[in-house]
Amino acid sequence: MEYYKDVLWKGALLFSLSLVASVFYFKAEKGSQNFAGFFIYGITIGLWLIASNMNKRRLIINHNKELYQFYIKGRLWQEGPLYQIYVRLVAQRDSYGKLFYSLIINGYRLEMLTLASLSSKFEQIDVLGRRIARHLNLNYFDYEDISTRHVIRHKPPEIEEEEEEELTGYQNV
């Protein structure tokens, strides 16, 4: 899966709006510098958002080796086992307490990728998330941390007692 971060268009919009607004402001005010810092800040942040997010991201899920690879600008950023990556249903409340749901893919050292934007239709987003997780053979997590609707397909390996002692430095008595 190849994609660009969705912040790229926001940076381009901020840059262009700041640039156009600064041109009109300086023409109308005959060079007054009351708000010059604001426009320079907007242009700078817009350029930074464009430059930092214009690199193509690539997520490769290899089921044969049971690992995923995440590339930014063609360079390997993270490689890990499949239990470290998941599809999750995320819920957000509005000011009236109504829940809105979205789907994301996230994982260890992986940038959050939104698969479906906010919707109030829980059943449809839930079915879509389960279907995506099933076809990609990934873990699926519900918006609640403790839920019976989680689908775990990949688990981390069990830690042996000797390895646990080495990691913690304590011996079980």
pLDDT grade, residue 147 (50/70/90)?
confident
pLDDT, one tens digit per residue, over 64-119 is: 998 999 998 889 999 999 999 999 999 999 999 999 999 999 999 888 888 998 99
Within 10 angstroms of residue 120's Cβ, the number of other Cβ atoms is: 11
Cα pseudo-dihedral 134, 139, 144, 145, rounded to 10: 170
pLDDT, one tens digit per residue, over 161-173 is: 666 666 666 655 5
3-state secondary structure of 93: strand
3-state secondary structure of 55: coil
